[in-house]
């Protein structure tokens, strides 16, 4: 900054043009400062719409799908309501996925950030050219540098840079700025309409690029024809207007054709999300006022605001917004009459025109979004910086007349704001770090946003903090009583806490309010799968695929249910179909092989671990052995996984759990402690360790009393083995033998309850389950099986 002040002082005194080298050095300094400011954002996670457009979009995982992106918009998301025709965005996401060899946050942020910096360079040349049209002095260069610095460092812009799928705004805006620069600096590009190419590129990322046409109209009006807004309405200017329309006509035709082309390829399933065009329209003047205010005081930035639509024209906020717009348009009218001040008018009109797609009659789901400022702020900052430049120029002249020796310092005052903006952006990047930090910020900034409350609850539930999650879900439900996702998340929460009777209610409510959304059916199917209600789960999964054929998780789960229920023909058919969506996917190929060979999950896991002996494959094998009741084999598989990856906490946990079921608590405790040493927040390992310690105490107590439970453990293990192989009668017989060894074994009653459920003998299942719950009210697995028994009896 001191260097900039020194340069400014010299240029003011000498009045000599700045050298190109010095200009580029100053611009490089701005870019370097921006890179430092954003240095903490490259590992920020995915958020919000990233889930369906990036994380769960199977198409971006293979570069061979790029031609499909240009075919139509169905490949842009796995959520039909959000599918739009943005092939450039999908293509860049696929490249990022390929570069990072998966979902590597760094590469997804790097590509957007590089484009952002390039846009900053182009903005400098755009600003400089237009400022020099008004006043051909060094003041235009300083205003351009200051404007670009303000834009690149402003925290409101960080809302776009941190949000991966918002690269659509970056690409579309980049296209507009590049088109202007090509037109202004290259006679060749201007003559042969080469500047149309970046418009095509930008529009294929987001159709807001077509607003280049009206912005271009005012550029020609102000800077080439040197007319004011008032001149448009004077008869004497008919010839100039004819020349103007001749210049802008091809641009309007091209942009209109682009819009119609994009609209044609946008899937009919796409929904803007809003409901009332009139209420949305009357709300937008105040929203626009908020955007203007945010340029100067960006203190209320929120990833998801809690603004609501206005209900009447009588609302004071409507009058405030309309008054603001009228005043700004009046300023544009006045300043357009003076060549020196025309950049002010041009920037104001750019600001309003860029907001038309999101702040007019098309009702979007969100009343406002902070990332919508990315495109319009180019114009607003252009206008504000030129206003400041003229004021500074006037102030310096006045101070010099009065003999003030350090008048040039006056120019430095606005630059003092830049470090504060940069610091705010750096802090804003921290908020976008992960789901918990982002949605907590939303709950603070937008406490009346039900979706924000739900998403923060979801982040807490992912951490195992069910109590906090429940509080936020309940609060969200009060605000959004018909929002399907809240009910689905409540269902997941209730299932995780053993309240199956309530979870089923919430899942069904979620489907009632969101029957056209694939995830409502998917999570209910996942719940049913966990309860081993495979037939109903399959029906729900088929609904998911009918709504979203590329939903890969649903395909995996459906293939798994087909394998578990030995529906080999269906498994083979589904696997073949799934390979079309994810070619060379090893998991799908395994299911295809299993379908053809009629192999169960255990055999498939054994084969995979044999062919590709990795820590994760042995971990998966241990889970299959565990499910089959083969605990010794489970322990051996865990040991092989640990040999390949000594830091694999899940393998230690599985081994400890297997030792618990074998009744070998003294062996379970050290391996579970090892799991927690690797991952102190491993809730499942912590719970298993508690079971092991209690079991050890109980065993010591039994030993002192002369009680032998070794027979119980043997029969329990055998009953589990029979259960997992579908031999339910034998499972019941072994569980009863376990009860003879220990009449207070809640695990034996759990096995009885589960086996009777599978045989649809629900009265017996209820009797066994209730006895077990009396012995151990905290046995969550038994609670689930008892709830399933109640539901089964109700259905029958």
**What pLDDT is stored for residue 540 in this prediction?**
96
| Cβ atoms of 479 and 451 closer than 8 Å | no
Fold of 712-795: 1.25.40
Domain segments of the chain as ranges: 34-267+294-421, 712-795
Closest CA to 44 of 458, 437, 454: 437
Tell me which range, 198-207, 415-424, 750-759, 763-772, is most confidently predicted by mean pLDDT.
198-207
Phi, psi for 359 (deg, rounded to 5): -130, 50
User: Interior CA angle at 656 toward 652 and 657, to 5°?
Assistant: 120
**What pLDDT is stored for residue 553 in this prediction?**
94
Evaluate if residue 12 carries a pLDDT over 60. no
pLDDT, tens digit, for every residue of 334-359? Answer: 999 999 999 999 999 999 999 999 99
pLDDT, tens digit, for every residue of 643-684? Answer: 999 999 999 999 998 898 777 889 999 999 999 999 998 888
Place of tokens 């029979």: 722
Give pairs for 39-42: CB < 8 Å, separation 24+. 40/426, 40/429, 40/430, 41/109, 41/113, 41/158, 41/161, 41/162, 41/429, 41/432, 42/105, 42/106, 42/109, 42/110, 42/113
Element (H, E) at 567: none
**What pLDDT is stored for residue 16 in this prediction?**
60
Evaluate if residue 777 carries a pLDDT over 80. yes
**What pLDDT is stored for residue 103 in this prediction?**
95
Positive or negative torsion for Cα 522, 442, 446, 206: negative
Q: Which residue has the higher pLDDT, 683 or 17?
A: 683
As a whole number, the mean pLDDT across the chain is 90
User: Interior CA angle at 730 toward 733 and 745, to 5°?
Assistant: 40
pLDDT, tens digit, for every residue of 463-512? Answer: 889 999 999 999 999 999 999 999 999 999 999 888 877 999 999 999 99
Q: Residue-wise over 184-210: b if at least 16 C-beta within 10 A, else e?
A: beeeebeeeeebbebbebbbbbbbbbb
Evaluate if residue 726 carries a pLDDT over 80. no
CA gap 652, 643 in Å, rounded: 11
Q: Which residue has the higher pLDDT, 754 or 153?
A: 153
Q: Identify the three-state secondary structure at position 186.
A: coil
**What pLDDT is stored for residue 629 in this prediction?**
72
CA gap 500, 754 in Å, rounded: 15
Evaluate if residue 13 carries a pLDDT over 50. no
Beta bridge partners of 273: 364
CA gap 642, 640 in Å, rounded: 5
Q: Which of 29-33, 264-268, 418-422, 679-683 has the lowest mean pLDDT?
A: 679-683
**What pLDDT is stored for residue 722 in this prediction?**
76
CA gap 394, 400 in Å, rounded: 10
Taking each helix axis from N to C end, the angle separating 105-134 and 342-355, rounded to the nearest 10 degrees, works out to 140
Confidence of residue 428 (pLDDT cuts 50, 70, 90): very high
Evaluate if residue 9 carries a pLDDT over 60. no
**What pLDDT is stored for residue 457 in this prediction?**
96
Evaluate if residue 731 carries a pLDDT over 90. no
CA gap 474, 342 in Å, rounded: 54
Tokens of 53: 């457009």
Evaluate if residue 424 carries a pLDDT over 80. yes
Listing DSSP states for 334-371 in one string gives HHTTSGGGHHHHHHHHHHHHHHTTTSSSS-BSSS--GG
Evaluate if residue 709 carries a pLDDT over 70. no
CA gap 329, 344 in Å, rounded: 11
Closest CA to 232 of 224, 223, 221: 221
CA gap 60, 752 in Å, rounded: 47
CA gap 346, 379 in Å, rounded: 7
Q: Is the pTM here over 0.85, yes or no?
A: no
Phi, psi for 273 (deg, rounded to 5): 105, -25
Q: Identify the three-state secondary structure at position 273.
A: strand
Average pLDDT over residues 425-444: 96
Q: What is the total residue count of the chain? A: 796
Confidence of residue 173 (pLDDT cuts 50, 70, 90): very high
**What pLDDT is stored for residue 693 in this prediction?**
87
Average pLDDT over residues 535-542: 95
Closest CA to 155 of 37, 76, 251: 37
Tokens of 422: 């940069």
CA gap 163, 364 in Å, rounded: 18
Q: Which of 138-142, 417-421, 693-697 has the lowest mean pLDDT?
A: 693-697
Evaluate if residue 543 carries a pLDDT over 80. yes
- Burial category of 607 from C-beta neighbours within 10 Å (exposed 0-12, middle 13-18, buried 19 and up): middle
Place of tokens 């091209």: 254
CA gap 128, 146 in Å, rounded: 11
pLDDT, tens digit, for every residue of 368-396? Answer: 999 999 999 999 999 999 999 998 888 77
């Amino acid at each position: 900054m001191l260097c900039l002040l020194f340069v400014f002082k010299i240029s003011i005194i000498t009045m000599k043009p700045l050298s190109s080298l010095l200009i580029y050095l100053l611009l490089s300094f701005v870019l370097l400062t921006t890179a430092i400011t954003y240095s903490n954002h490259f590992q920020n996670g995915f958020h919000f719409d990233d889930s369906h457009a990036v994380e769960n979009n199977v198409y971006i995982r293979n570069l061979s799908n790029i031609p499909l992106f240009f075919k139509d918009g169905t490949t842009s998301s796995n959520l039909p309501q959000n599918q739009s025709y943005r092939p450039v965005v999908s293509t860049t996401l696929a490249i990022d996925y390929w570069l990072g060899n998966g979902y590597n946050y760094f590469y997804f942020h790097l590509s957007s950030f590089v484009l952002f910096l390039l846009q900053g360079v182009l903005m400098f040349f755009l600003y400089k050219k237009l400022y020099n049209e008004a006043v051909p002095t060094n003041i235009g260069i300083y205003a351009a540098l200051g404007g670009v610095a303000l834009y690149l460092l402003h925290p409101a812009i960080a809302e776009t840079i941190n949000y991966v799928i918002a690269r659509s705004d970056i690409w579309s805006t980049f296209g507009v700025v590049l088109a202007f620069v090509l037109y202004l600096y290259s006679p060749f590009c201007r003559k042969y309409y080469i500047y149309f190419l970046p418009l095509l590129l930008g529009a294929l990322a987001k159709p807001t690029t077509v607003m280049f046409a009206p912005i271009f109209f005012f550029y020609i009006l102000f800077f080439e024809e040197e007319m004011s807004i008032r001149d448009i309405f004077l008869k004497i200017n008919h010839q100039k207007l004819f020349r103007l329309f001749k210049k802008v006509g091809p641009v309007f035709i091209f942009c209109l054709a682009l819009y119609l082309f994009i609209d044609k390829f946008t899937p009919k399933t796409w929904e803007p999300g809003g409901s009332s065009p009139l209420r949305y329209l009357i709300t937008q003047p105040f929203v626009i006022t908020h955007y203007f205010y945010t340029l100067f005081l960006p203190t209320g930035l929120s990833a998801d605001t809690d603004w609501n639509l206005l209900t009447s024209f009588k609302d004071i906020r409507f009058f405030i917004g309309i008054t603001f717009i009228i005043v700004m348009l009046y300023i544009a009218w006045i300043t357009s009459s003076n060549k020196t001040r025309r950049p002010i008018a041009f920037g104001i009109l750019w600001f309003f025109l860029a907001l038309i797609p999101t702040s007019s009659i098309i009702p979007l789901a969100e009343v406002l979004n902070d990332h919508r400022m990315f495109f319009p702020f180019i114009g607003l900052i252009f206008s504000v910086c030129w206003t400041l430049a003229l004021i500074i120029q006037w102030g310096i002249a006045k101070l010099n007349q009065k003999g003030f020796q350090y008048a040039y310092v006056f120019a430095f005052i606005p630059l003092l704001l830049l470090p504060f903006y940069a610091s705010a952006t750096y802090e804003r990047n921290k908020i976008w770090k992960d789901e918990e930090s982002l949605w907590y910020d939303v709950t603070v900034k937008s406490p009346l946003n039900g979706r924000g409350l739900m998403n923060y609850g979801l982040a807490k539930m992912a951490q195992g903090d069910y109590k906090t999650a429940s509080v936020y879900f309940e609060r969200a439900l009060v605000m959004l009583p018909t929002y399907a996702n809240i009910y689905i998340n409540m269902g997941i929460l209730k299932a995780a806490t053993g309240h199956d009777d309530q979870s089923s209610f919430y899942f069904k409510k979620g489907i009632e309010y969101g029957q056209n959304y694939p995830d409502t059916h998917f999570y209910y199917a996942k719940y049913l799968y966990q309860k081993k209600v495979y037939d109903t789960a399959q029906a729900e999964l088929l609904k998911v695929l009918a709504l979203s054929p590329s939903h890969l998780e649903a395909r995996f789960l459906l293939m798994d249910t087909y394998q578990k229920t030995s529906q080999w023909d269906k498994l083979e058919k589904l696997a073949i179909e799934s390979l079309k969506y994810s070619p060379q996917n090893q998991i799908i190929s395994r299911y295809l092989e299993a379908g053809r060979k009629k192999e169960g999950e255990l055999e498939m896991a054994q084969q995979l671990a044999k062919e590709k002996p990795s820590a994760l494959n042995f971990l998966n094998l241990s889970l299959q052995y565990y499910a089959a009741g083969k605990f010794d084999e489970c322990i051996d598989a865990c040991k092989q996984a640990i040999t390949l990856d000594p830091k694999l906490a899940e393998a230690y946990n599985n081994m400890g759990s297997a030792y618990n079921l074998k009744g070998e608590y003294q062996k379970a405790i050290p391996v579970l402690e090892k799991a927690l040493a690797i991952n102190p927040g491993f809730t499942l390992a912590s719970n298993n360790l508690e079971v092991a310690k209690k079991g050890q105490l109980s065993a010591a107590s039994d030993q002192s009393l002369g009680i032998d439970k070794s027979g119980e453990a043997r029969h329990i293990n055998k009953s589990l083995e029979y259960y997992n192989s579908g031999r339910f009668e034998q499972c019941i017989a072994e569980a009863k033998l376990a009860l003879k060894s220990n009449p207070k074994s809640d695990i034996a009653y759990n096995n009885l309850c589960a086996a009777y459920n599978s045989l649809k003998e629900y009265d017996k299942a209820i009797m066994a389950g209730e006895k077990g719950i009396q012995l151990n009210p905290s046995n969550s697995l038994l609670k689930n099986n008892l709830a399933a028994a109640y539901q089964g009896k109700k259905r029958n």
